[in-house]
Amino acid sequence: MTPPSRTLTRAEADAFGGELDALRAEVLADLGQRDVDHIRAVIRTAHRAEAAGRLLLHVGLGPVSFVLGSGALALAKILDNMEIGHNLMHGQYNWTRDPALDSSYEWDASCDAGDWRHYHNFEHHTFTNILGKDRDIGYGFLRVSPEQRWYPRHLSQPIVATFLAMNFQWGVATHDLRIEEVSSGKQTWAQLRERARPFLRKAGWQLAKDYVVFPALALGNAPRVVAGNLLANLTRNLWTFAVIFCGHFPDGVRFFHQDEIVDESRGQWYLRQLAGSANIEGGSTFHVMTGHLSHQIEHHLFPDLPASRYPEMAPRVREICERYGQRYCTGSFARQLGSVVGKILRYALPGGQRAPRAAKPAPVEIETVRERELARAA
Partner 1 sequence: MQSDLLRTFTRRLFLDRQAAFWLDQLHATWSPREIRARVVEVITETPDARTFVLRPNRHWTGHRAGQHTTVEVEIDGVRHRRCYSISSAPSDPRVAITVKRVAGGRVSSWLHEHVRPGHVLRLGPAAGDFVLDPDPAEAAAPLLLLGGGSGITPLMSILRDLDDRDAVRDVVLVVHARRRDDVIFGRELEAIAARHAGLRLLVHLDDLDEARLARLVPDFAARTTLLCGPAGLMARVERMWATAGATARLRREQFAAPPVTVPAPGAPIAIRLAASARTVAADGAGTLLDQLERAGERPPSGCRMGICQTCKCRKRSGVVENLRTGAISSDPDEYIQLCISRGRSDLELAL
**Alpha carbon distance 144, 129 (integer Å):** 11
Q: Which of 45, 95, 218, 338 binds partner 1 (CB under 8 A)?
A: 95
From 95, 113, 163, select the one nearest 306 (Cα to Cα).
95
Q: Which of 303, 313, 336, 343 binds partner 1 (CB under 8 A)?
A: 303
Q: Which of 58, 77, 86, 90 binds partner 1 (CB under 8 A)?
A: 90
35 sits near partner 1 (criterion: CB under 8 A): yes
Binding mask 259-278 for partner 1 (x = CB under 8 A): -------x--x---------
Closest to partner 1 by CB, 37 or 319: 37
Q: What backbone phi and psi angles, to 5 degrees, belong to 143?
A: -100, 110
Rounded to the nearest 10°, the torsion over CA 141, 142, 147, 152 is 80
26 sits near partner 1 (criterion: CB under 8 A): no
Residues 43-62 that bind partner 1 (CB under 8 A): 43-44, 47, 50-51
Q: Which of 41, 213, 230, 355 binds partner 1 (CB under 8 A)?
A: 213
* Cβ atoms 275, 290 nearer than 8 A: no
Min CB(36)–partner 1 separation in Å = 4
* Cβ atoms 114, 198 nearer than 8 A: yes
Min CB(219)–partner 1 separation in Å = 18
Q: Which of 1, 3, 9, 33 binds partner 1 (CB under 8 A)?
A: 33
Residues 151-210 that bind partner 1 (CB under 8 A): 205, 208-209
User: 3-class DSSP state for residue 209?
Assistant: helix
User: 3-class DSSP state for residue 281?
Assistant: strand
Q: Where are the alpha helices (DSSP H) in the chain?
A: 10-30, 33-59, 62-79, 87-89, 113-116, 125-126, 157-166, 168-174, 180-183, 189-208, 214-217, 222-248, 266-275, 284-289, 296-301, 310-323, 333-346, 369-377
Binding mask 101-140 for partner 1 (x = CB under 8 A): --x--x-x--------xx--xxx-xx--------------
User: 3-class DSSP state for residue 38?
Assistant: helix
Question: Which residues are at the interface with partner 1 (CB under 8 A)?
Answer: 25, 28, 31-37, 43-44, 47, 50-51, 90-91, 94-98, 100, 103, 106, 108, 117-118, 121-123, 125-126, 205, 208-209, 213, 266, 269, 303-304, 368-369, 372-373, 376
